[in-house]
């Protein structure tokens, strides 16, 4: 990518790849090989089905070429797409699509029951577009929104992170610069569509001329089948949570075609990749959805873990600046703990609606915008940054950021619960898990856990539902009238 990146759109850059290598593979699956020209034709066909000048387009589809084409179609019209997995809780899907006030939802017939009044366009997985020639010009500008990703929020509802075209292009440039991705590379598409790793997988591939390899759901959910897919599709880059990296590392199988593993979304430990670093590059990355994707990289295969077996998160990527600041946004000296704060190309516009967390975006005197992550870190002697822990109650569960307050608020609104406190604990493998402490609304009726879990599943993603529930007669309070964490029983969990 050149210096004109910020003046163009995502689709403009995709169109360049279509023009330069129309017959190259853009997406491959077990059943299909979709070229760049064919993907462009599919996107153009879907764009023609959308309402005139849409602002927001919901995408609720199975993973595959048609899903990617639908996202490109929305971008081509100048709209922003709002993705949701069909497996998400129905009420969560309703909230996201309603808050975004989507003009239309692109989906499949089998998921029609997930929606209420929203206008729908149906695109089935086998869709291949019309025979009409594609027109690779797009509406919109670099400053237009590209998508809205919903993450956990403190109010009890998810918050929509608004990311612009230029944010994505700035990040793709950073990834291309460090990872040297391009024609000949095959990227595994493994992440769910609501996580920023998905953005990294899809756009860092399609905007640089690489190929995106999408496994079936059965292959996705079975490690040995996934590794077969990686081998047979010639995957060169695997991008995912550290748990995926750890599973591949422990499998005893080292895919010969993979040259690069990119870990993000949670802490990477040396034990998770001690075999993989012998045959490929392994990167530890860090960055929240509010900064598009990653803000720092650390090449673990060329570095060393810290004493606690964790790898540093590294240094700022191209086009970003990462600082460790105190509460007054003053730099802290090396070796001292500070909040990880990010400025640069990937800092998002903000949230779709006004949220308490909006204050984490800070306008600076030079006109740039800084994002306060709420994560604490320290600069090591060699200038690398190490992640320490969260500043607040937000934790990482299965690679996803979860606000304990959101889970508390949903629990507290439940018909059987009077009061709820949710806390995170650490298991023997130093991974976080949630414990909910509850007082019943009706002492004589108690709480039926199976029914409570069913009600929670309608509002919370599965990784947000606490693993353990403790029913108490009352929640212990400290002298300030707040829950006394020291008085709450600890529920132990084996690793």
In this structure, the answer to whether residues 375 and 403 fall within a common structural domain is: no
In this structure, the answer to whether residues 14 and 81 fall within a common structural domain is: yes
Q: Spell out the per-residue pLDDT of the chain, length 495, in tens.
A: 443 446 799 999 999 999 999 999 999 999 999 999 999 999 999 999 999 999 999 999 999 999 999 999 999 999 999 999 999 889 889 999 999 999 999 999 999 989 877 899 999 999 998 866 555 566 788 999 999 999 877 666 789 999 999 999 999 999 999 999 999 999 999 999 989 999 999 999 999 999 999 999 999 999 999 999 999 999 999 999 888 998 899 898 999 999 999 999 888 888 889 999 999 999 999 999 999 999 999 999 999 998 878 899 999 999 999 999 999 999 999 999 999 999 999 999 999 998 888 999 999 888 899 999 998 999 999 999 998 877 776 788 877 778 887 888 789 888 898 888 899 988 887 788 999 999 898 877 789 999 999 999 988 989 999 999 999 988 887 766 678 888 999 899 886
Helix (H, G, I), strand (E, B) or coil at 200: helix
In this structure, the answer to whether residues 163 and 260 fall within a common structural domain is: yes
Nearest alpha-carbon partner for 299 in 313, 314, 283, 312:
283
In this structure, the answer to whether residues 337 and 295 fall within a common structural domain is: yes
d(CA 282, CA 318): 18
d(CA 403, CA 406): 5
In this structure, the answer to whether residues 319 and 464 fall within a common structural domain is: no
Distances (CA, A) of 384 to 262, 274, 312, 459: 18, 21, 7, 39
User: H or E segment at 225?
Assistant: helix 223-233
d(CA 164, CA 143): 6
In this structure, the answer to whether residues 347 and 466 fall within a common structural domain is: no
Q: Is residue 385 part of a domain?
A: no
- Domain tally for the chain? 2
Helix (H, G, I), strand (E, B) or coil at 457: helix
DSSP state letter for 272: G
Q: Is residue 270 part of a domain?
A: yes
pTM: 0.82
In this structure, the answer to whether residues 448 and 473 fall within a common structural domain is: yes
Strand pairing category for 432-440 and 468-471: parallel
CATH number at residue 41: 3.40.50.12780
In this structure, the answer to whether residues 264 and 294 fall within a common structural domain is: yes
Q: Is residue 60 part of a domain?
A: yes
d(CA 242, CA 257): 20
Last residue of a domain, one of 379, 411, 430: 379
In this structure, the answer to whether residues 156 and 298 fall within a common structural domain is: yes
In this structure, the answer to whether residues 399 and 372 fall within a common structural domain is: no
Q: Is residue 229 part of a domain?
A: yes
Q: Is residue 387 part of a domain?
A: no
Q: Is residue 388 part of a domain?
A: no
In this structure, the answer to whether residues 333 and 249 fall within a common structural domain is: yes
Last residue of a domain, one of 355, 379, 403: 379
Q: Is residue 358 part of a domain?
A: yes
pLDDT at residue number 271: 85
The boundaries of the domain holding residue 399 are: 395-487
Q: 320: which 2 tokens?
A: 């970003």
CB atoms under 10 Å from CB of 414, counted, come to: 17
Last residue of a domain, one of 338, 354, 379: 379
Q: Is residue 439 part of a domain?
A: yes
In this structure, the answer to whether residues 346 and 436 fall within a common structural domain is: no
CATH number at residue 400: 3.30.300.30
């Amino acid at each position: 990518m050149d210096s004109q990146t910020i003046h163009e759109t995502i689709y403009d850059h995709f169109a360049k790849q279509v023009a330069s290598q129309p017959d190259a593979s853009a997406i491959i699956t077990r059943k299909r090989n979709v070229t760049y020209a064919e993907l462009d034709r599919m996107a153009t066909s879907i764009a023609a089905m959308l309402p005139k000048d849409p602002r927001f387009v919901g995408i609720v589809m199975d993973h595959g070429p048609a899903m990617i084409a639908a996202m490109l179609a929305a971008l081509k019209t100048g709209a922003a797409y709002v993705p949701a997995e069909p497996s998400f809780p129905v009420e969560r899907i309703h909230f996201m699509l309603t808050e975004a006030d989507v003009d239309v939802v692109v989906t499949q017939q089998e998921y029609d029951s997930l929606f209420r009044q929203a206008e729908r366009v149906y695109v089935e997985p086998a869709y291949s577009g019309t025979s009409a020639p594609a027109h690779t010009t797009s509406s919109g500008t670099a400053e237009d929104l590209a998508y809205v990703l919903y993450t956990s929020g403190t109010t009890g509802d998810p918050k929509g992170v608004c990311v612009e075209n230029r944010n994505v292009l700035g990040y793709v440039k950073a990834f291309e610069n460090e990872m040297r991705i391009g024609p000949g590379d095959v990227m595994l598409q493994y992440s769910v569509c609501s996580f920023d790793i998905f953005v990294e997988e899809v756009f860092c591939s399609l905007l640089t001329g690489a190929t995106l390899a999408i496994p079936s759901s059965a292959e996705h959910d079975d490690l040995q089948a996934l590794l077969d897919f990686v081998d047979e599709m010639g995957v060169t880059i695997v991008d995912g949570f550290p748990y995926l990296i750890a599973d591949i590392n422990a499998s005893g199988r080292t895919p010969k075609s993979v040259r690069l593993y990119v870990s993000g979304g949670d802490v990477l430990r040396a034990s998770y990749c001690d075999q993989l670093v012998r045959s490929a590059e392994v990167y530890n990355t860090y960055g929240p959805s509010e900064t598009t994707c990653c803000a720092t990289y650390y090449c673990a295969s060329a570095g060393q873990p810290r004493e606690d077996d964790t790898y540093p998160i590294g240094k700022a990527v191209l086009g970003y600046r990462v600082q460790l600041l105190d509460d007054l946004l003053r730099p802290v000296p090396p070796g001292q703990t500070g909040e990880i704060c990010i400025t640069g190309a990937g800092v998002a516009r903000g949230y779709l609606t006004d949220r308490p967390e909006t204050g984490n975006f800070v306008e600076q005197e030079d006109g740039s915008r800084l994002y306060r992550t709420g994560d604490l870190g320290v600069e090591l002697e060699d200038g690398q940054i190490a992640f320490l822990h969260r500043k607040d109650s937000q934790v990482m569960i299965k690679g996803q950021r979860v606000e304990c307050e959101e889970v508390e608020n949903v629990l507290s609104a439940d018909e059987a619960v009077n009061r709820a406190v949710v806390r995170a604990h650490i298991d023997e493998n130093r991974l976080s898990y949630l414990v909910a402490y509850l007082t019943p609304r009706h002492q004589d009726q108690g709480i039926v856990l199976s029914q409570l879990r069913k009600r929670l599943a309608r509002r919370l993603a599965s990784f947000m539902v606490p693993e353990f529930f403790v029913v108490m007669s009352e929640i212990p309070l400290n002298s300030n009238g707040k829950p006394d964490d020291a008085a709450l029983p600890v529920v132990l969990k084996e690793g």
